[in-house]
Amino acid sequence: MTETDSIAYDVVVLGAGPVGENVADRTRAAGLSTAVVESELVGGECSYWACMPSKALLRPVIARADARRLPGLSQSVQGPLDTAAVLARRDEYTSHWKDDGQVRWLDGIGADLHRGHGRLTAPRTVEVTGSDGVRQVLTARHAVVVCTGSGAQLPDLPTLAEVEPWTSREATSAKAAPGRLVVVGGGVVATEMATAWQALGSRVTLLVRGKGLLSRMEPFAGELVAEALTEAGVDVRTGTSVEAVTREHGTVVVVTDGGDRIEADEILFATGRVPRTADIGLETIGLEPGSWLEVDDSLRVTGSEWLYAVGDVNHRALLTHQGKYQARIAGAAIAARASGVPLLESDPWGAHAATADHAAVPQVVFTDPEAAAVGLSLAEAEQAGHRVRAVDVEMSSVAGAGLYAEGYRGRARMVVDLEREILLGLTFVGAGVGELIHSASIAVAGQVPISRLWHAVPSYPTISEVWLRLLESYRDN
C-alpha cells in the first residue's frame, strides 16, 4: 500500500450520488475547488438501485392497469407483460450499471473525482483508498460534506446471511422474476416491489408486522393500496412477523410468529434504512460510527464549523428529491461562509436554510393506485398541537377522474389549520395523482390562505378538479 502527497481543495464531498453531485455542482458554480470521493458508481443509489430502476419496472405495470380500465382498450391489454422487455428497458435506465455519463458530467462542472473508499482521519482531512491499495490524502479548506446515504436494514435473524436475502438493491436489479417472492415490510419499497414483481410474473406474499401498509401516510392510503394489491393477486398478511428464515435445497422457508410456513424462491426485506456512516472515520473527530448525523438548517453538523451532512445521513427526510434540495442549500451555505458573507435568515430566497425537509415534504408511492402526500397527516397535526380539521373527498366525484378510468377509485384529504386557515397537509390516493402533489407542495410550503386557493381555478375536466371539491367541502360544511 502506497500513499501520495496530500491534495488541498476548498470542498471535499464524500459520496457521488445525486446529493453529492448537487453539492459539488453548487460549490463549483461558486468557484470553489471541489473533490468528490466515490467507492461505487457515480450517480449513487437512486440511479442504479432505487428511483430510476424501480420506476422503470413500475411504469409498464401502471400503464397496463390504467389501460385495462378504459373501454375500447381494455380487451387489447389482458395478456401478461413482456417481462424481458420491461427488464431490458430498466437496464437502459440504469445505463447498464455503468457510470461513464455521470463521470463526464462531473468532469463538465470541473469537479475532481477520486475513486475509492473515503475516511476522515482528522479535521478537514479525508483519506481515500483506491481498489489498487493506493492512498490519497485530501484536505478541505472550507468544508467536508458527508453524502454517503443509507443502506438497507436487515433484521437480526439466525442464518439470514446464508439465505442471501434480497434488499432493495437486488429487488430493483434482478435479472428475472422469481416464481415465488416473499416481501417483508409495509412501506414504500415493500409495496412498490410487491406491485412490480406480481405484475411481472411472481407469486408475491407480503408480510407486514403492523396493522396496515404505508403507516406514515393517512390510514386510507394503506387501505386502498392493500385492497388493490390483494385484487392483483398478492397475498397480503398484516400483523405478521418473521420468526425464522432458512434456505433449504435452494428454497427459502419462512416461519411466521403465527406458526405459518411459507416457501419461496426469494425473500425481500424492506424493513428500514441505516446510515452509511459506519466506516467513514467519524470516531477520529469525536462522532459515533454508524450514527445519523444531526445538522442545523444549513446542513452543518451540530458542533462543527466545517463538517456537513446532506441527504439520508442526517435522517431529516430520506428521499432523493429532498436530499437534492438539501444539497442546494448546503452548497449555497458553504459558498457564503467561504466568501465571508453572513448567513441571514432574512435572505428572500431562504437559500441558506433548509425548511422544506420537515415542513412540506412531498412523496409519491408508485403503486396502483398511486399514493401521494405532502406535509402533515391529520394525526401528526393533532399530535403537534394544531387545531385542525380534515376534509375528505372521494376522487370519483371529479369528472376528470371518471374520464381517466372506468370505476376510478381514490380519496383526497386536506388538513386545515383552523387558526390560520392554511393547509398543513394533503394526501391523494388514486391513479395518476402523483402529478397533483407539486401543486399541493406549493400550497403547503407557501402557506397559501384558503381564501386565495379558492381563486386558483383547476382546468376542466381534469383530476386536478379535486382541489375545487376539497375547497367546496371545507366552505360548505
Phi and psi angles of residue 6, each rounded to the nearest 5 degrees, phi first = -75, 150
The answer to whether the annotation marks 281 as part of a ligand binding site is no
- Three-state SS for 1? coil
Number of C-beta neighbours around residue 274 at 10 A: 15
Q: Are 407 and 394 in contact (CB under 8 A)?
A: no
> In Å, how far are 149, 186, 210, 318, 378 from 216, measured between CA atoms?
21, 10, 12, 13, 11
The answer to whether the annotation marks 191 as part of a ligand binding site is yes
Number of H helices, E strands in the chain: 15, 21
Structure letter (DSSP) for residue 131: T
The answer to whether the annotation marks 324 as part of a ligand binding site is no
The answer to whether the annotation marks 118 as part of a ligand binding site is yes
Q: Are 48 and 97 in contact (CB under 8 A)?
A: yes
The answer to whether the annotation marks 188 as part of a ligand binding site is yes
Residues with Cβ within 8 Å of 133's Cβ and at least 6 positions away in sequence, in order, are: 1, 2
Phi and psi angles of residue 411, each rounded to the nearest 5 degrees, phi first = -150, 150
Burial of 461 (0-12, 13-18, 19+ CB in 10 A): middle
The answer to whether the annotation marks 98 as part of a ligand binding site is no
User: Is the peptide bond preceding residue 219 cis, with omega within 30 degrees of 0?
Assistant: no
Report which of 151, 46, 149, 168 is spatially closest to residue 95, judged by C-alpha positions: 46
The answer to whether the annotation marks 323 as part of a ligand binding site is no
> In Å, how far are 219, 235, 474 from 469, measured between CA atoms?
21, 35, 9
The answer to whether the annotation marks 189 as part of a ligand binding site is yes
Burial of 459 (0-12, 13-18, 19+ CB in 10 A): exposed
The answer to whether the annotation marks 108 as part of a ligand binding site is no
The answer to whether the annotation marks 370 as part of a ligand binding site is no
The answer to whether the annotation marks 148 as part of a ligand binding site is yes
User: Is the peptide bond preceding residue 458 cis, with omega within 30 degrees of 0?
Assistant: no
| Helix orientation angle between 188-199 and 51-68, rounded to the nearest 10 degrees | 60
The answer to whether the annotation marks 365 as part of a ligand binding site is no
Phi and psi angles of residue 393, each rounded to the nearest 5 degrees, phi first = -140, 135
The pairing of beta strand 411-417 with beta strand 112-115: unpaired
Could you list the residues known to form a binding site for FAD, using ranges. 55, 118, 148-150, 312
Could you list the residues known to form a binding site for NAD(+), using ranges. 185-192, 272
Could you list the residues known to form a binding site, using ranges. 55, 118, 148-150, 185-192, 272, 312
